[in-house]
Homo-oligomer: A and B are copies of this chain.
Amino acid sequence: MPQLRIAAAQVNTRVGDLSGNADLIVEWTRKAAEQGAHLVVFPEMALTGYPVEDLALRESFTDASKAALASLATRLADSGCGALAVYVGYLDADEAGPRNAAAVLHEGRIAATQFKHHLPNYGVFDERRYYKPGQTLDIVQLHGVEIGMVICEDLWQDGGPITALGQTGVDLVVSPNASPYEKNKDDQRLPLVARRAAEAGAPLVYLNLIGGQDELVFDGDSIIVSADGSVVTRAPQFVEHLLITDMSFPGGRERTEGQVGEFTVRRVTLSADPVPTYEPLPLPPVAEPLPEEAEVWFALVTGLRDYVHKNGFRSVTFGMSGGIDSAVVAALAADALGGSAVYGVSMPSSYSSEHSKDDAADLAKRIGSHYEVQPIGAMVDVFVNQLGLNGLAEENVQARCRGVTLMGLSNQHGHLVLATGNKTELAVGYSTIYGDAVGGFAPIKDVPKTLVWQLARWRNAEAEKLGEIPPIPENSITKPPSAELRPGQLDTDSLPDYELLDDILDEYVESDRGRSDLLARGFSAEVIDKVLTMVDRAEYKRRQYPPGTKISLKAFGRDRRLPITSGWREG
């Protein structure tokens, strides 16, 4: 039976960085070659990064992508990796328009090219805006093994390219993906991949990107399954990883060419003779998906680290208030960048409690960050007195003087400002635009308040397990939340209890349920109307919020695209 050593390179690319991504592909192909692999698979659009958005519409960029692919083929051969079949996702373009494409590079040439068939255009995806769909299936024969390919969404289609590959006959299917992290998405992926392998009648290599890209985080979770759908190996989430597996192929399936359903099948032979029979490596371990809080935590850490580093920053600054939100942001930042890259600023006003300042200082010590105190009293006084402000206008000036302070320190010292707002307060508009909403990245923008507390407790417990100092002061977790913008103020003065609030938001925002559904679920009309009105009014503020870790789903954080000017009110 023909054998192949298959490598799946779960890497972290950067959008638009054609030369950096090419270097990465050469480096990981070399690693695969050193381990004797015959083919190596990279993620969807690995050469350009994903998603390139409107860059796909720039001819200079599509030209550069095509040129980079050709030169990558040469470089791989020059690096002694020419014998490997290297599957590389890239951006192509022809007379029909841009294409989401994957190529097989071999012996210095582009041996085959396939365009994505099914273009997702929902949630975080806008691919019909950019790409024209492909109609061909390019099947490559490598050492006597017939290898078909499907790109990401093509795998999710019932009766799609996988069915066609099953009909035309292949020994192996490889699938480059850029599948953004969603809470519990790993539970969906494995059954899907298993089912598709069975439909194709062939083992399937599912390879996904890792890393943060603006609002998205990719978690990896690459999987190799056998023809019967059983898991051969699975990669850990959120880390770069090379999965290497030996497989042998029974062969003997009937093979067709030409039209299969809506697809044109093209077959290319790279090498017909099987490799001499060899002893397979021991099976690699099957990584377990991370438990719930750990998965979310690493998604947030990954999104934050990549946003900072890929944008050329080395350090971050933000307001350390002593509250739970900024404490969790601080712990995330310390995990992502190291405590020495974190510059916490306490900005007390006359309404700030003594314990808040103590908790902030305690936090900085626990995570090993820099810490300074910049009271805002003198700044606030000038605005309030000169402009004659009171009430909400006075409260907002406090938050805005903090924003100006952080941006001043950022401009002077080069730190990226983080906004510390959570998803719940953003959803209901409980924040000050140009105030606490200031920042280039908002690490917990997609985390509801109740999950913020849950993550804090989980992170502290993890530290205790390892005998480390828990990063978050207990007091920040247990005290009742307050914006401290007027004497004795508590969040519960303006908002329902957070448990109740998050339950309603989950129904209304995440699940798109309406007022009558909420009533049917037993929430009171009074609290429903209060929350829905707050959410509808907050849309405008949310639009002005800086980009953050956008983790794209249900119960976790898909952003809505809603009109700002709207007469629609639920109910």
Contact = CB atoms under 8 A, between A and B. Distances in A.
Interface of A: 14-18, 20-21, 49, 51-55, 57-61, 63-64, 121-122, 126, 128-129, 212-214, 306-307, 310-311, 374, 378-379, 382-383, 386-390, 392-393, 396-397, 400-401, 403-405, 407-409, 411-412, 433-434, 438, 440, 512-517, 540, 543-544, 546-547, 560-570
23 contacts: A15-B566, A17-B566, A17-B567, A17-B568, A20-B567, A51-B563, A53-B562, A54-B560, A54-B561, A54-B562, A55-B562, A55-B566, A58-B514, A60-B570, A61-B514, A63-B514, A374-B386, A393-B412, A396-B407, A400-B403, A434-B438, A543-B547, A544-B544
A83 B57 CA distance: 50
A209 B158 CA distance: 40
Nearest to A380: B382
A389 B412 contact: yes
Contacts of A389: 408, 411-412
Given A52-B563, A55-B568, A61-B514, 19 more contacts: A15-B566, A15-B567, A58-B512, A60-B515, A60-B516, A121-B128, A121-B129, A126-B561, A311-B540, A374-B386, A379-B383, A379-B386, A387-B412, A390-B412, A393-B408, A393-B412, A396-B408, A404-B434, A543-B546
Copies of this chain held together in the complex: 2
Contacts of A129: 121-122, 126
A375 to B, nearest CB: 8
A212 to B, nearest CB: 8
B563 A16 contact: yes
A385 to B, nearest CB: 9
A563 B55 contact: yes
B434 A567 contact: no
B14 A565 contact: yes
Contact of A213 (B14, B17, B214, B565): B565
Contact of A563 (B53, B58, B126, B386): B53
B434 A407 contact: yes
A57 to B, nearest CB: 6
Contacts of A311: 540, 564-565
A440 B52 contact: no
Contacts of A434: 403-404, 407, 434, 438
Contacts of A408: 383, 387, 389, 393, 396-397, 400
